[in-house]
Chains A and B, each alone.
Chain A
């Protein structure tokens, strides 16, 4: 189908974008890479009277180190983050997850901030943000505020952003020493949305026990699901295949998957059991081998 008519703005600064959004919210939508929003507009599932295109705002495109975190501007293209040496050195879980985020042609245009703000429950980046304890920086007419990833995602395509707020940055803590990571996903075709995906990080204590485990899943509920009981079961444990298998079974009980065209809820739980076990084993291997 073809899009319905809208009024288009292409501000060149963040200040202009914030004020345009404030003037026209809630009938205005910010347009980032458009790889999720434009399909909805083409289908006329999303109709906004005003589109505020953020693609000309160069100040929102950057990747830099800031106080132990990596700060990524919301309009940074996914392929730029994927190829960033800084990202692969400090938060390699993100690099690994980005390879599952659509296809290269999608990642050329798709943005890091757009994938987070769109909050598709099957998308990879929200799960990564939750697993790594990222913070999301929002800017609106009242100023700037920081929202923990665990509080940012509210449900399918729904976030804590107010209609007049823009996501401007995500801050992701660097992986600590003795940490290993893995992102695993099952989909029908590489680059498709996850049937289930798992982001895992294991940090080892000096004696080799698990100091801390982080687990978040996509395709597993109305928003990215943190498997906190599985995490708690791993904390302080001696890592073993048996522990990882148990964690997979616990995580499968914590998620809340739907049945749809692609997979039943039952199947998704079974897949989650296996992927969590494999992701933990891979994260542990990387933690012990020093990446």
Chain B
């Protein structure tokens, strides 16, 4: 008999109820059960950062949390960044600065950068590089990602003025 548990979560502001097996990873729950396939699963052991989501206000790796552990939690995924079909300034900056190539790492990069810019709205290049050290990108060499985050910081500063 599979070990099943009823859970309730709020994802990007919407409530969900589900019954999940205890071994189901939060990342697989988001993707396969809720259809939120923006969250990417790369390494499945907490190294690549592609599956980063925000759980109760802090980034976590959704491959290192079981769905059952998220019972009662507020979750934000990359699908929650845009508002009213308007890209978040971070998304615009990634697009304009070509902060992505294949796009696989992008959801994790965006969620980590979203959190980081809230803590540090005016970061140096060095601070950005350290902030995203837990997110691997195999295409860009990081330079355009760093520039995109700097650009997003500037856009967000203007927007909040």
Contact = CB atoms under 8 A, between A and B. Distances in A.
A81 to B, nearest CB: 14
B134 A106 contact: yes
A39 B22 contact: no
Interface stretch (B57-65, B91-99, B151-159): B57-65
Most chain B CB within 10 A, of A42, A103, A105, is at A105
Contacts of A43: 45
Given A55-B69, A105-B134, A7 B59 contact: no
B23 A39 contact: no
Most buried by B among A103, A104, A189: A103
Majority-rule SS of B interface residues = mixed
Nearest to A38: B64
Given A7-B3, A8-B22, A43-B45, A103 B65 contact: no
Contacts of A53: 69
A191 interface: yes
Interface in B28-53: 28, 44-46, 49, 52
B145 interface: no
Contacts of A105: 49, 52, 58-61, 112, 134
Q: Is the interface of A mostly helix, strand, loop or mixed?
A: loop
A51 interface: yes
A239 interface: no
A39 B66 contact: no
A162 interface: no
Contacts of B66: 8, 34, 38
B60 A108 contact: yes
Interface string B119-141: 00000000000110110000000
Contact of A34 (B2, B58, B64): B64
B147 interface: no
B25 interface: yes
B68 interface: yes
A90 to B, nearest CB: 24
Contact of A106 (B3, B21, B22, B46): B46
A2 B133 contact: no
Contacts of A10: 68-69
B133 A190 contact: yes
A6 B22 CA distance: 7
B131 A1 contact: no
Contacts of B3: 5-8
B65 to A, nearest CB: 7
B146 to A, nearest CB: 14
13 contacts: A5-B22, A5-B23, A7-B3, A8-B5, A35-B46, A35-B64, A42-B45, A105-B59, A105-B60, A105-B112, A108-B58, A109-B60, A189-B133
Interface of A: 1-8, 10, 34-35, 38-39, 42-43, 51, 53, 55, 79, 102-106, 108-109, 189-191
Interface of B: 2-3, 5, 21-23, 25, 28, 44-46, 49, 52, 58-61, 63-66, 68-69, 112, 130-131, 133-134
